[in-house]
Amino acid sequence: MLALQGGFDPHLRALDRLGVPSCKVLYVQDLEGIDGLILPGGESTTIGKMLARFGFLEVIPQAVSRGLALFGTCAGMILLARQIRHYDQVHLGLLDIEVERNAYGPQVESFESSVRWRDGRTTPAVFIRAPIIRRLGPQVEVLAEQEGLPVLVRQDRILAASFHPELTSDLSVHRYFLELCGADSQETRRDSSSLQP
């Protein structure tokens, strides 16, 4: 769990509910021996600057090339995106999408809704100053939509959500990420079918 800034504690609680061991990543050496890394919501500009300051901009892509899975929510999605529309900031650029920051409106316009997986299931979601995906690369798969817009996407072992699944009681998105990590837990063993979108 990248814990430089932002809302990482709810993600840690979600992983704990799934029975998955987790740790806070504060330094590049903390990436050793982990299967997946979550980039939480928060201030993407601040997190980007800290990624650069602590050497993560070089190390995370190297770890991804060795099989590390990534999951970015809200600001985390922005940091993973290849392009950020109308805004210049430090980011990783590992996911072939273009995003527009805060496109759902300011924080006072935050809302709760549901997103629809491609198989018709729905998952509750919280949108807070959420980015909108404006372009999808050919290798990017849309896993879920909200009112016709892609809000959960995947490219290889990189997963990104416009919303905050960690702020609801639903664990389906985190379960899906665990599958990308090759991880397992007591709960996913009981309900492995829920890992498939």
Residue 166 appears among annotated catalytic residues: yes
Q: Give the active site residue among 91, 166, 174, 181.
A: 166
8-state DSSP, 110: -
Residue 11 appears among annotated catalytic residues: no
8-state DSSP, 86: T
Q: Give the active site residue among 74, 91, 174, 181.
A: 74
Q: Which residues of 107-129 are buried (b: 16+ CB within 10 A; e: fewer)?
A: eeeeeeeebbbeeeeebebbbbb
Exposed/middle/buried for residue 142 (C-beta within 10 Å: 0-12, 13-18, 19+)? middle
Residue 164 appears among annotated catalytic residues: yes
Task: Return the beta strands (E) in the chain as ranges.
Answer: 36-39, 69-73, 81-84, 95-100, 111-117, 122-127, 132-136, 141-146, 149-155, 158-161
> The tokens of 137 are what?
């690369």
Q: Give the active site residue among 91, 164, 174, 181.
A: 164
Q: How far apart are CA 117 and CA 197, in angstroms?
A: 6
What residues are annotated to the active site?
74, 164, 166
